[in-house]
């Protein structure tokens, strides 16, 4: 049973099908597959990682329209890949998983949905990711606001922004994509920034026909470009890991780029970040900073203290009158799959296990939760690379785990607690001295523990997940092992 039909869930399903696991169901609460690329349909929504790396290694396309593809193209791609591998038929949309519970006697999982059906499964893959629950900051008086409001991840396409006075709260990776787009059509745009960002250039114009032809027809060119982007991502990670050397050089580049873009001295002062390069996500945009300097756009850096019936109130007491508030305030990243109730062996609750911050072996396996796997789990986010690389690595690792179960005629696999503790300790120790520890961000819990990011390079994560070591795991025999030995599968049968 796979929960989540985004890139992660699709990657896992393909990997498992390719290795003989046939009985797979993918549940997703959305009306279709696509995950983040279904939900984030805001104007300008696109990937900021070049598409030849932000795509499966086994399903490379040569006809992307530009370097970083727009949302609809990525969604089409994912549909196409799922169709080509017969995975689209496995998706049960409109299925909101509320609980997944390990039965110590039956030694299987029961997956319960809000809509009614429950499923039994030998293995559960939670591929809900880190970025799927929109975060609405607690702002006093929010309910008193009489205008319209929505979150960037649930864009209201029925609301016509043309000619409106609009507030945008937040200036993260999503806002920097939609602000330049909506700035062209709204009457007035007020952008509320809590922290400045480090920017690097990204023009992302459609490929001219000769470039398209080269990519299409020159053998190996696409693979070469993929490799180049891969190592550019690794360089960014080097900058984050080594703040005084490579990090300083990248910061200089960013500063020079931002200076060139920010002609207005006031906006320049306001938009310039005051924290170490790479501590928060570095933003790739050549359009956002110019948009801030449009006549109809104002950047406000006073803290938002409340909403009033007619607008947004800031710490200096100003009421900024607007018709609409758009929250570009990101996601409840530390919640991972919660509020889903995840109950493992002996009735232990994942919520309790993770009370001091989420942790899992390689971000995938949690002791006491047999044959449960997390994709894009704790400490597997990347600040300098493509999450698809990580998801493919996780899919391979999970497939190896289930193959071990199958080959040993066992029922389930459970990571040894001491293995998980040691790997978590090592992961956490590797953050010391890196940019990630230099400021608050969505990568961290309130206590400062970094739970989102992998502390190293893509190539390290790939290497560590390449070959599963069975000695890291305990194998659980089937409940009726003494009398019969049924072959384990990822069976997922509705039983309601
Ligand atoms: P985000 O990066 O978490 O940005 C949220 C923004 O809202 C930040 O500027 C934050 O300020 C601000 N904010 C939060 N609470 C606030 C409050 N109470 N008052 C004022 N401002 C507040 O969220 P996102 O832009 O949706 O991006 C989330 C992640 O999604 C990204 O980091 C990235 O991994 C992914 N993403 C990727 C792409 C892509 O192209 N690949 C595109 C979009 C998003 P602070 O900085 O001060 O916290």
> What distance, in Å, lies between the first and last C-alpha atoms of the chain?
15
Which residue has the least CA distance to atom 27 on ligand 1? Answer: 173
Atom of ligand 1 nearest to the CA of 48: 40
Q: Establish whether residue 206 lines the binding site of ligand 1, counting it when its CB lies within 6 angstroms of any ligand atom.
A: no
Q: Establish whether residue 313 lines the binding site of ligand 1, counting it when its CB lies within 6 angstroms of any ligand atom.
A: no
- Per-10-residue mean pLDDT for the chain, 496 residues long? 98 98 97 98 96 96 95 98 98 98 97 96 97 96 97 98 98 98 98 98 94 94 95 97 98 98 96 97 97 98 98 98 98 95 98 97 98 98 96 98 97 98 98 97 96 98 98 93 43 46
Residue 415 parent element (H or E): strand 412-415
Ligand 1 pocket mutation, candidates 36, 136, 172, 200, criterion most atoms within 8 A of CB = 172
Atom of ligand 1 nearest to the CA of 442: 3
- pLDDT value of position 479: 85
Q: Establish whether residue 281 lines the binding site of ligand 1, counting it when its CB lies within 6 angstroms of any ligand atom.
A: yes
Using only the alpha carbons of the chain, give its radius of gyration. 23
Task: Report how far ligand 1's centroid is from the alpha carbon of 5 (Å).
Answer: 23
Alpha carbon separation from 109 to 4, 99, 119, 408 (Å, rounded)? 16, 10, 8, 20
Q: Establish whether residue 282 lines the binding site of ligand 1, counting it when its CB lies within 6 angstroms of any ligand atom.
A: no
Atom of ligand 1 nearest to the CA of 40: 43
Q: Establish whether residue 329 lines the binding site of ligand 1, counting it when its CB lies within 6 angstroms of any ligand atom.
A: yes
Q: Establish whether residue 192 lines the binding site of ligand 1, counting it when its CB lies within 6 angstroms of any ligand atom.
A: yes
- pLDDT value of position 483: 39
How confident is the model over 392-436, as pLDDT tens digits? 999 999 999 999 999 999 999 999 999 999 999 999 999 999 999
- pLDDT value of position 488: 42
Atom of ligand 1 nearest to the CA of 46: 40
Which residue has the least CA distance to atom 12 on ligand 1? Answer: 170
Which residues lie below 8 Å from residue 47, measured CB to CB, with a gap of 6+?
54, 68, 69, 74
Which residue has the least CA distance to atom 31 on ligand 1? Answer: 173
Taken in order of first residue, the domains within the chain and their CATH numbers are 2-133+334-495 (3.50.50.60), 142-327 (3.50.50.60)
- pLDDT value of position 480: 73
Which residues lie below 8 Å from residue 259, measured CB to CB, with a gap of 6+?
268
Task: Report how far ligand 1's centroid is from the alpha carbon of 383 (Å).
Answer: 13
Strands 188-192 and 372-374 turn out to be unpaired
Where helices occur in 218-337 by DSSP H, the ranges are 221-241, 246-261, 265-271, 288-292
Ligand 1 pocket mutation, candidates 45, 66, 330, criterion most atoms within 8 A of CB = 330
Written as six digits, the tokens of 81 are 């890949």
Task: Report how far ligand 1's centroid is from the alpha carbon of 174 (Å).
Answer: 6
Q: Establish whether residue 171 lines the binding site of ligand 1, counting it when its CB lies within 6 angstroms of any ligand atom.
A: yes
The Cα–Cα gap between 54 and 81 comes to 13
């Amino acid at each position: 049973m796979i929960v989540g039909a985004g890139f992660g869930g699709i990657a896992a399903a393909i990997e498992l099908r390719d290795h003989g696991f046939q009985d797979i169901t993918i549940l997703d609460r959305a009306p279709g597959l696509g995950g983040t690329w279904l939900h984030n349909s805001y104007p300008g929504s696109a990937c900021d990682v070049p598409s030849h790396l932000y795509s499966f290694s086994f399903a490379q396309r040569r006809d992307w329209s530009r370097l970083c593809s727009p949302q609809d193209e990525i969604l089409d791609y994912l549909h196409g890949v799922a169709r080509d591998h017969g995975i689209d038929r496995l998706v049960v949309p409109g299925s909101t998983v509320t609980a997944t519970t390990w039965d110590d006697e039956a030694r299987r999982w029961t997956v319960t949905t809000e809509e009614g059906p429950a499923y039994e499964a030998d293995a559960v893959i939670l591929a809900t990711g880190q970025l799927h629950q929109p975060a609405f900051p607690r702002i006093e008086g929010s309910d008193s606001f009489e205008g319209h409001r929505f979150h960037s991840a649930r864009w209201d396409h029925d609301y016509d922004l043309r000619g409106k006075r609009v507030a945008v709260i937040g200036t993260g990776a999503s806002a920097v994509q939609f602000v330049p787009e909506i700035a062209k059509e709204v009457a007035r745009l007020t952008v509320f920034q809590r922290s400045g960002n480090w920017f690097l250039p990204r023009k992302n114009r459609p490929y001219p026909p000769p470039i398209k032809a080269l990519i299409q027809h020159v053998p190996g060119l696409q693979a070469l470009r993929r490799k180049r982007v891969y190592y550019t991502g690794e360089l960014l990670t080097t900058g984050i890991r080594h703040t005084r050397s490579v990090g300083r050089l990248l910061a200089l580049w960013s500063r020079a780029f931002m200076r060139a873009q920010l002609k207005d001295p006031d906006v320049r002062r306001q938009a310039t970040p005051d924290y170490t390069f790479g501590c928060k996500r570095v933003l790739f945009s050549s359009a956002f900073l110019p948009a801030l300097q449009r006549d109809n756009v104002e950047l406000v850096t006073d803290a938002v203290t409340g909403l009033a019936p007619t607008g947004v109130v800031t710490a200096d007491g100003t009421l900024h009158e607007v018709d609409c508030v758009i929250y570009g305030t990101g996601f409840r990243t530390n919640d991972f799959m919660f509020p889903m109730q995840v109950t493992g062996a002996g009735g232990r609750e994942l919520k309790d296990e993770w009370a001091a911050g989420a942790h899992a072996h390689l971000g995938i396996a949690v002791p006491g939760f047999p044959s449960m796997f997390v994709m894009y789990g704790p400490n597997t986010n990347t600040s300098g690379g493509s999450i698809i690389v990580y998801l493919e690595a996780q899919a391979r690792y999970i497939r190896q785990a289930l193959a071990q179960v199958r080959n040993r005629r066992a029922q389930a696999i459970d990571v040894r607690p001491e293995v998980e503790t040691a790997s978590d300790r090592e992961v956490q120790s590797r953050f010391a001295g890196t940019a990630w520890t230099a400021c608050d961000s969505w990568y961290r819990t309130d206590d400062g523990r970094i739970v989102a990011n992998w502390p190293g390079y893509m190539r390290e994560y790939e290497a560590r997940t390449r070959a599963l070591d069975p000695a890291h795991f305990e194998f659980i025999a089937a409940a009726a092992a003494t009398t019969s030995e049924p072959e384990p599968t990822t069976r997922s049968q509705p039983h309601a």
